[in-house]
Amino acid sequence: MDWLLTHAPALLIALPLLGAFLTPLIDRISGKARSAFVLVVLAATQLLMMALAWDVFTQGAHIYTMGAADPTATVPAQAAVPVRIVLQVDGMGAFMGLISVTVSLAAAVYSLAFMHRESGQGRFYTLLLLMVVGMLGMEFTGDLFNLFVFLEVLSIASAALIAFRFYHGDAVEGAIKYIVISSLGALMVLLAVALLYGQYNLLNMGALASVLEYTYLDKVALGLLIAAFAMKCGAVPMHMWTPDAYTVAPASITAMLVAASQASLYALFRICFSLYGFTLDLTTVGIIIIALGLLSMFIGVTMALPQKDIKRLMSYHAISQTGYMLLGVGVGLYLLAHADFDTYGIRAMEGGIFHIINHALYKGLLFLTAGAIFYKVGTRNLDEMGGLAHSMKYTTVFFIIGALAIAGIPPLNGFASKLLIYESAYRVSPILSIVAMLVSILTLASFVKVFHSAFMGPRLEGMGDGREVPRSMLVGMGLLTAGIILFGLFPDWVVSNLVHPAAQALADQAAYIAALGGGV
């Protein structure tokens, strides 16, 4: 057990990676065996992730040095600086890893029935597992160049999955937008990494953080990194790829893309807090992040209101919800060096980080219900559907729970995290909270519209076969719903045991540097 936990960070990346490349081979034997294999791999990843997260939250951060005789020694005996590839799992990393793996598992279970009419499922699950690799790699790595590599792994796998239904022209159209923008973004990340490496000869983020001087070149690198990752997480004004890609991807993949964009959000926060930290001009960068958040929230929701395509509407809501996370954590960054950080700065960060997991759960669930509707009705246009509540009882209940959670209605989980953000952002400026509340109301309005036009009304002809979707899709949605209800009922437990350690891990740059062997 100890051996397993020591090597867990590396195993968590290796397990889905090996699973991904075994999947096409097993697919040649039989489709059933392949599906069972994928589920076993993901379930094993989930169990290992939960064990690792438990250990991180009770015992402290994990360090894993690739290829070292002693995985906890980041600086090799012959060298003065950490030169090896290091994985580092602290509260924040474990928290994000849990989100990614949980959403992926639910999406894979859902796909069993959702994708069974498609050909090429072996490739689908291979890419799905590669997405898990990319997300976990981005969340665990302590090395800047590795961050770039895993970002590309994630982008390539996601782009191929967005275009999975390539026989629809629009799927390829969404995918090419995504891959052009994200490969350009990744190249900017690489340029920033090169700028930092050229000055300090280091790639290890902890060691780099300890020597960073915030020179002019560092500022250029910071700008490139913030722009690239804000683009990848779909913040306005770099959001134009999000609705296209989210709309055309298969629904289970859209749910995973939400988790994938949060991995980029994590990278953005990691770079601001752990890499640059106190050397930053905290006020300016904090205001930039808050401004990105406000813009995303407001423009996202106003663009969502007139949409007729159910998944496009939800995609704009995804942008708007990303704004809440940027706002919460941005307020934390703004106040990082301030005396009030311990009173309400950290509360704002907790709100933002709590919102990440809540959003992954309810937005994942909402995209899965949209997929269930598409599976039965064959259209995404809200004007053409109606009366689905008659035939799809469970889907209706899941949709209501998801919609109430995203609108922040108590006692569901969206309320808990939004309240934390309202309370603490108010102390910085009341305008922030007012905008946040307004956006929340508009979100509710928009989902009332979706609920009314898709589920209410008389039974319509041609609306599916009058039966509920297959069981595996219900199980996938049920998994996420259970999470929403649990998190909504016990927010205090979640905040003090999961979210607070995660926020603390982000805010405490000294611990990060020490853990990664920097400052020698």
Which listed range, 164-172, 411-419, 438-446, 457-465, lies at the site for other proteins (CB under 8 A)?
Answer: 164-172
CA distance 158 to 160: 5
Window 97-136: contact mask with other proteins (x via CB under 8 A)? ----------------------------------------
User: Which residue in the set 15, 61, 75, 159 belongs to the binding site for other proteins (CB under 8 A)?
Assistant: 159
CA distance 87 to 30: 36
Taking the CA atoms of residue 106, residue 121, residue 186 and residue 231 in that order, the dihedral angle to the nearest 10 degrees is -50
User: Which residue in the set 106, 179, 285, 474 belongs to the binding site for other proteins (CB under 8 A)?
Assistant: 179
Q: Which is nearer to other proteins, 120 or 430 (CB)?
A: 120
Which listed range, 89-97, 154-162, 258-266, 478-486, lies at the site for other proteins (CB under 8 A)?
Answer: 154-162
Q: In the bound complex, what is the minimum distance in angstroms from residue 262's beta carbon to other proteins?
A: 22
The one-character DSSP state at 333 is: H
Q: Which is nearer to other proteins, 243 or 345 (CB)?
A: 243
Which listed range, 9-17, 144-152, 271-279, 281-289, lies at the site for other proteins (CB under 8 A)?
Answer: 144-152
Q: In the bound complex, what is the minimum distance in angstroms from residue 148's beta carbon to other proteins?
A: 8
| Near other proteins in 211-270, by CB under 8 A | 244, 247-248
Tokens matching residue 406: 């995203």
**Structural contact between residues 359 and 97, judged by C-beta atoms closer than 8 angstroms:** no
- Give me the DSSP letters along 212-255: ----HHHHHHHHHHHHHHHHHTT-TTS-THHHHHHHHS-HHHHH
Tokens matching residue 463: 């609306």
If binding is defined by CB under 8 A, does position 176 make contact with other proteins? yes
Q: Which long-range contacts (CB under 8 A, 24 or more apart) does 426-430 make?
A: 427/340, 427/344, 428/331, 428/334, 428/335, 428/348
User: Which residue in the set 14, 21, 70, 166 belongs to the binding site for other proteins (CB under 8 A)?
Assistant: 166
| Near other proteins in 182-211, by CB under 8 A | 183-184, 187, 190-191, 193-194, 197-198, 201, 203
Amino acid at 266: Y
Q: In the bound complex, what is the minimum distance in angstroms from residue 473's beta carbon to other proteins?
A: 25
Which listed range, 7-15, 161-169, 423-431, 433-441, lies at the site for other proteins (CB under 8 A)?
Answer: 161-169
Instruction: Please list, residue by residue across 494-511, b when 16 or more beta carbons sit within 10 angstroms of its beta carbon and e when fewer do.
Output: bbeebbbbbbbbbbbbeb
- CB-based contacts of 90, cutoff 8 Å, min separation 6: 56, 61, 62, 505, 511, 512, 515
CA distance 426 to 406: 21
If binding is defined by CB under 8 A, does position 175 make contact with other proteins? yes
For the chain, the residue count is 520
Q: Which is nearer to other proteins, 193 or 474 (CB)?
A: 193
If binding is defined by CB under 8 A, does position 170 make contact with other proteins? yes
Q: Which is nearer to other proteins, 171 or 297 (CB)?
A: 171
User: Which residue in the set 152, 384, 423, 508 belongs to the binding site for other proteins (CB under 8 A)?
Assistant: 152
- CB-based contacts of 425, cutoff 8 Å, min separation 6: 327, 328, 331, 348, 432, 433, 436
Which listed range, 172-180, 259-267, 281-289, 362-370, lies at the site for other proteins (CB under 8 A)?
Answer: 172-180
Q: Which is nearer to other proteins, 190 or 436 (CB)?
A: 190
Q: In the bound complex, what is the minimum distance in angstroms from residue 198's beta carbon to other proteins?
A: 4
Mutual angle of helices 121-140 and 31-59, in 10-degree steps = 10
- Give me the DSSP letters along 249-308: S-HHHHHHHHHHHHHHHHHHHHIIIIIIGGGS-HHHHHHHHHHHHHHHHHHHHHHHTT--
Q: In the bound complex, what is the minimum distance in angstroms from residue 36's beta carbon to other proteins?
A: 29
- The site that binds other proteins (CB under 8 A) totals a number of residues, namely 34
Q: In the bound complex, what is the minimum distance in angstroms from residue 488's beta carbon to other proteins?
A: 35
User: Which residue in the set 5, 18, 50, 173 belongs to the binding site for other proteins (CB under 8 A)?
Assistant: 173
Q: What angle do CA 355, 267, 71 make, to 5 degrees?
A: 115
Q: Where do contacts with other proteins occur on this chain (CB under 8 A)?
A: 83, 145, 148-149, 152, 155-156, 159-160, 163, 166, 169-170, 172-176, 179-180, 183-184, 187, 190-191, 193-194, 197-198, 201, 203, 244, 247-248
